[in-house]
Chains A and B, each alone.
Chain A
Amino acid sequence: MIQTADSKALRRKKIPVSQWILAIVLFLGSFIMIVPFLWMLVTSFDWGARLNITFPPKIWPEEPSIRTYEVAFTNIKMFRYIINSIIVSAGVIVVSSLSALLSGYALSKLRFKGASLVLLLALSTMMIPFEMTMIPQYLLFSKLGLLDNYLAFYLPALNYAFGTFLAKAFIDQLPSSLREAAILDGAGEFTVFGRVYLPLCTPIIATMIILLFLGVWNEMLWPLLVLKNAAKYTIQIGLAMFTYNNGINQQPSIIMAATAVSLIPVVVVYMFLQRYIIESIALSGIKQ
């Protein structure tokens, strides 16, 4: 309200010089943020940059072509990697958010014996760095014969303590009388959870999906450990191993084409859900 009144007042009056300076400074800064993306796009369409980067840097490709993308898709199995990443992300999202919602509901509304202990235990494990537990986890999955198996992603996804925390805090704000009324009507606990509370949890589910998707899509270290078969690679590890094996700084336009493709899903999601994402990040930052 105050904001709109302000901007209306601004339109009628003259815009102060300080506001102009502010906008120009911010615009120049955002140019620095965007230039790497522009360079990536220009280079990715430049057949002339398939072996070496062009000099001087171009604003428009020297030899505009989409052959770079064809080569990227045949040399690097981008399509396969993207499908794999989608499968892994979807599985992790389902497992993690269900685990978080179920436990968040129980901790908030059931008040069972030891509930606060469970919450405290789960939250304190968030302090344990993954880099410390990754070696035993790797050994565990290799012993179970689950390397190159996506269960190596789905099973650890059960441990989503931060999601539990978010879900509990959200369900705490929903009235308990809904549960009591439904139980008096003879509903079981699962029905109460699934039919009454779950539909009310959509905002927090959306937040969890966004945070989990961005996390899993960009994850690199765990896939590097558990995925050995190139057919199973997720997008990050596929891209990383291609450049790792061929040497970084080789074939600029091919690598940039592949990188651009790897960014499409996140950037599309970002464009459509930009507001949600920024809110989720701010929320998760403040809650932590």
Chain B
Amino acid sequence: MILSNEMNADKKMTPKRKKWFTRNDWTGYLFSAPLIIGVLAFAIYPMFAALFISFHQTSGLSLNGKWVGLSNYRYALEDPVFWQALTNTFLMGVLSVVLGIVLSFVLASLINNLKWNFGKNFFKAVYFLPNVVSAVATSLLFSFLFFPSKEGLLNFVLSWFGVHHPIGWFTNPEVSRYSIVLMSLWGALGYNTIIFLAGLQSVPRDLYEAAEVDGAGGYKKWLHITIPYLRPIFVFMLIMGTIGGMKRFTDVWLIGGTAGNPGGSLMTVVLYIYRNAFLASQMGLATAASYLLFIIILVLTAVMMLLNRRKDSLD
């Protein structure tokens, strides 16, 4: 739009010079050159290259292989390991996103209602601290806290409450995915809380005042004003959290290795991609799986955005 308007304006005002590409335009592209080169070389090109590779049977590091059509996609979709990876990723992602949003919203509301300013900043800082800790450090730390014998801190604490049979947090395939969820809650809670707090402070005060006039109490105000007003933030977190959750790799790789131990319960989609690309040298299969991941992420994002819009029209 802007482009065509400017062109028309140029034609009308300087019909004789016909300088289609001005000095200013050149400078603009010169200044944007680093960005444009970066985007072309490290986003657009690899996106198409990945698509190209996914249709080929490659060997080793060479890009050229035999054209095999969709058979890499078919292989991935028929591979039980891929489905296991997808199920695990989805389970861990959904649980950590939903629990994370609920917990951090409650936490942010509590902090926001605190009238003690020093305490407010202190709690903000403390709850956010785990967020700057890397996934590697978190995984190493929790591999000891969640030690599977009675020596582990969590099992020790649980023994006070009558759980005398130590839980194999990261060794029991039935439990390990939930342990990962607990661990990622510890790490990610602060991030959501900070964003919710920023949102809570943006709710206009006169909305609350109007509700008070109507006789609404604290809880009712929270339910009928705060939550609906913050809906865009909930949707944003749902989307960002789901995208992040679908890309889970570092923690499961470090704790469960490339096989996603125990018993494949920690196999995730990105781990599947990594394992096929860099251990099995199956670049074609790996890129096909990565395209499937991309499509899944796009569909999930689109569905969540649509749900948001439909709610809008209902209101």
> Measuring CB to CB, which residues of chain A are less than 8 angstroms from any residue of chain B?
3-4, 6-7, 10, 19, 22-23, 25-26, 29-30, 32-37, 39-40, 43, 52-57, 95, 98-100, 102-103, 105-107, 110-118, 121-122, 125, 127-140, 142-143, 155-161, 164, 189, 193, 214, 217-218, 220-221, 225, 236, 239-240, 243-244, 248-249, 252, 255-256, 259, 262-263, 266-267, 269-270, 274-275, 277-278, 281-282, 285-286, 288
Residue of A nearest to B147 (CB): A53
Contact yes or no, A6 B115, CB < 8 A: yes
Q: Across the interface, do B156 and A57 meet the contact criterion of CB distance under 8 Å?
A: yes
A-B contact pairs, 11 of them (CB 8 A): A19-B115, A30-B127, A98-B34, A135-B50, A158-B34, A159-B38, A221-B270, A255-B140, A263-B133, A270-B132, A285-B198
Verify if B161 is at the interface (C-beta below 8 Å from A). no
Shortest Cβ gap from A249 to chain B (Å)? 6
Taking a contact as CB atoms under 8 Å apart, the answer to whether B6 and A113 are in contact is yes
Q: Which of B139, B141, B142 has its CB near the most chain A CB atoms (within 10 A)? A: B141
Question: Which residue of A121, A137, A236 contacts B42 across the interface (Cβ within 8 Å)?
Answer: A137
Given A134-B46, A156-B38, A159-B41, 14 more A-B residue pairs with CB atoms under 8 Å apart are A10-B116, A106-B29, A111-B24, A117-B3, A121-B44, A122-B39, A125-B47, A133-B42, A136-B50, A140-B45, A159-B39, A239-B137, A266-B134, A288-B236
B41 and A155 contacting across the interface, CB-CB below 8 Å: yes
Which of B72-80, B208-216, B246-254, B303-311 is the interface stretch?
B246-254
A133 to chain B, nearest CB (A): 4
Considering the chains assembled together, what is the distance between the CA atoms of A131 and B297 in angstroms? 12
Contact between B43 and A159 (Cβ–Cβ < 8 Å)? yes
What is the bound-complex CA distance between A87 and B154, given in angstroms? 38
CB of B175 closer than 8 Å to a CB of A: no
Partner of A155, one of B24, B42, B137: B42
- Which residues of chain B come closer than 8 Å to A256, judged between CB atoms? 140-141, 144
Interface SS of chain B: helix, strand, loop or mixed? Answer: helix
A99-B35, A225-B278 known; A33 and B130 CB under 8 Å?
yes
For window 1-56 of B, CB contacts with A under 8 Å fall at: 1-3, 6-7, 21-22, 24-29, 31-32, 34-39, 41-47, 49-50, 53
Assembly CA distance A140 to B153 (angstroms): 45
Given contacts A106-B28, A131-B290, contact A116 B110 (CB under 8 A): no
Chain B proximity of A86: nearest CB distance (Å): 15
Report which B residues bind A (CB closer than 8 A). 1-3, 6-7, 21-22, 24-29, 31-32, 34-39, 41-47, 49-50, 53, 61, 63, 107, 110-111, 113-117, 119, 121, 123-137, 139-145, 147, 150-153, 156, 186, 189-191, 194-195, 197-199, 236, 240, 243, 247, 249-250, 254-255, 257, 270, 273-274, 277-278, 283, 286-287, 290-291, 293-294, 297-298
Of B29, B50, B254, B274, which is within 8 A of A132 by CB? B50
Q: Are A19 and B116 in contact (CB under 8 A)?
A: yes
Minimal beta-carbon separation of B97 from chain A (angstroms): 15
Contacts of B41 in A (CB 8 A): 155, 158-159
Contacts A135-B277, A270-B129; is A128 near B35 (CB within 8 Å)? no
Contact, CB under 8 Å: A156 / B42 = yes
Given A100-B35, A110-B31, A281-B195: A133 and B144 interface contact (C-beta under 8 Å): no
| Chain B, Cβ-Cβ closest to A243 | B140
Give Cα A135–Cα B294 distance, bound, in whole angstroms: 14
Q: Is the CB of B35 within 8 A of A122?
A: yes
Whether A116 touches B2, Cβ cut-off 8 Å, given contacts A132-B290, A248-B140, is yes
In the complex with contacts A23-B114, A114-B3, A263-B135 CB distance below 8 A: no
Report the 7 A-B pairs with minimum CB-CB distance, sorted nearest first.
A112-B28, A158-B38, A159-B38, A106-B31, A133-B46, A136-B49, A218-B134
> Closest CB of chain B to A60's CB: distance in Å?
15
Known: A36-B186, A136-B50, A159-B38. A129 touches B294 (CB 8 A): yes
Pairwise interchain contact A118-B32, C-beta atoms closer than 8 A? yes
A259-B115 in contact (CB<8A): no
CB pair A113–B254 under 8 Å, yes or no, is no
B61 touches A142 (CB 8 A): yes
State the CA gap A176–B43 with chains docked (Å): 32
The smallest beta-carbon distance between B268 and chain A, in angstroms, is 10
Is A26 in contact with B114, judged by CB distance below 8 angstroms? yes
Query: Nearest-CB distance from A113 to chain B (Å)?
Result: 5
B255 close to A248 (CB less than 8 A) = yes
Q: Are B236 and A285 in contact (CB under 8 A)?
A: yes
Chain A residue contacts of B21, Cβ below 8 A: 113
What residue of chain B has the Cβ atom nearest to residue A130's Cβ? B247
B198 touches A29 (CB 8 A): no
Contact B270 A131 (CB under 8 A): yes
Taking a contact as CB atoms under 8 Å apart, the answer to whether B32 and A133 are in contact is no
| Contact across chains for B144 and A103 when beta carbons are under 8 A apart | no
- The residues of A that contact B150 with a CB separation of less than 8 Å are 55
For B125, list chain A residues within 8 Å (CB).
274, 278
Contact B3 A262 (CB under 8 A): no
Which residues of B lie under 8 Å from residue A19 when comparing CB positions? Answer: 114-116
Report chain A residues within 8 Å CB of B7: 113
Shortest C-beta distance, A69 to chain B (Å), equals 16
B132 near A266 (CB under 8 angstroms)?
yes
Closest A residue by C-beta to B119: A23
Q: How far is the CA of A288 from the CA of B232 in the complex (A)?
A: 12
A135 touches B53 (CB 8 A): yes
Distance in Å: Cβ of B94 to nearest Cβ of chain A:
18
Given contacts A23-B116, A103-B31, A103-B32, contact A29 B127 (CB under 8 A): yes
